Amino acid sequence: MQLLQLHAVDQQILETEQGLRECREELSELSDGVLSLEDGLEQLLSRLQDLRLEARHGERAVEDKHVALIRVQGRVSNVQNERQYSAATLEADLLKSDLRTLENQVLDKLQLVEDTDGRRKEMESTLEEALEQAGPRRKEMAAQQKELEDALAIQNDRRENLALRMEKRALGLYDRIRAGKSEVALAPITDEGVCGYCHTFVTMQQRMEVEQLDRLISCEGCGVILYPSNLAV
Ligand SMILES: [Zn+2]
């Protein structure tokens, strides 16, 4: 009877531990999702800052080039001879072409800033949504985790108390079976006279001994401790 009680508590402990594992997994998945969004947003913001800086530099270069062009154009109207005239117009043409290139680069950069800023807005609302969704679920899971931890503490206490009152040899055998590959350490002999776990045949002699409850009999097939089917916790 003590072994059966212990077995029942051990099954509860296994179930609670499984629930706790699932709970912790979901909690860590929830924070992983939010964390990766936050990381992505941070990267995007820093990229946006760089792009804006580059655009400002470009605008300044355009202004400088413009000033230079006006200066050269002033020179064109004040030339003394043909040679100075063609030198000044050539320089002005080069500056104009440079200016066009720079202006196009700035426009491209500004377009990139705008696109990136659009992506930032999208990402911010995705993050907001994720936080909104994760918040209540996280609270729920944290409460469930607390509940399971409390239940596990109680179950472990109960197990300890039961184990203390048990005969050491019986407890040792039981623990050894459970430490093996099987979570099941006890099985009833069925009405057909076989082990309730692995269905190995149990001899009449063994069956009588089991029913007398004098000593512990293990199944010859799987090693679990056998008990009469009419015995129940
Ligand atoms: Zn068996």
pLDDT one-digit tens code per residue, 136-185: 988 999 999 999 999 999 999 999 999 999 999 999 999 998 888 677 89
Task: Quote the pLDDT of residue 203.
Answer: 94
**Ligand 1 centroid – CA 52 distance (Å):** 74
- How would residue 232 be classed by pLDDT, with cut points 50, 70 and 90? low
**Ligand 1 centroid – CA 194 distance (Å):** 8
Q: Tell me the pLDDT tens digit for each residue of 19-50.
A: 999 999 999 998 898 999 999 999 999 999 99
**Ligand 1 centroid – CA 189 distance (Å):** 9
**Ligand 1 centroid – CA 229 distance (Å):** 14
Residue 193: strand, helix, or coil? coil
**Ligand 1 centroid – CA 223 distance (Å):** 6
Q: Where are the domains of the chain?
A: 2-166, 182-227
**Ligand 1 centroid – CA 230 distance (Å):** 18
**Ligand 1 centroid – CA 198 distance (Å):** 4
Please provide the average confidence, as pLDDT, over all residues in the chain: 93
Give the rounded distance of the alpha carbon of 19 from its chain centre.
17
**Ligand 1 centroid – CA 199 distance (Å):** 6
SS3 of 210-229: HHHCCCCCECCCCCCEEECC
- How would residue 134 be classed by pLDDT, with cut points 50, 70 and 90? confident
Answer yes or no: are the C-beta atoms of 216 and 7 closer than 8 Å: no
Identity of the residue numbered 31: S
147: which 2 tokens?
Answer: 């509940």
Reply yes or no on whether the pLDDT at 228 is more than 60.
yes
Q: What percent of the chain has pLDDT over 90?
A: 78
The more confidently predicted of residues 181 and 108 is: 108
**Ligand 1 centroid – CA 11 distance (Å):** 18
**Ligand 1 centroid – CA 179 distance (Å):** 16
Reply yes or no on whether the pLDDT at 75 is more than 90.
no
**Ligand 1 centroid – CA 156 distance (Å):** 27
| Ligand 1 is an ion; residues with CB less than 5 A from it | 195, 197-198, 200, 219, 221-222
**Ligand 1 centroid – CA 10 distance (Å):** 19
Architecture of domain 2-166: Orthogonal Bundle (1.10)
Average pLDDT over residues 104-108: 96
- Per-residue exposure over 83-118, b if at least 16 CB sit within 10 Å of its own CB, e if not: eeeeebeebbeebeeebeebbeebeebeebbeebee
Reply yes or no on whether the pLDDT at 233 is more than 60.
no
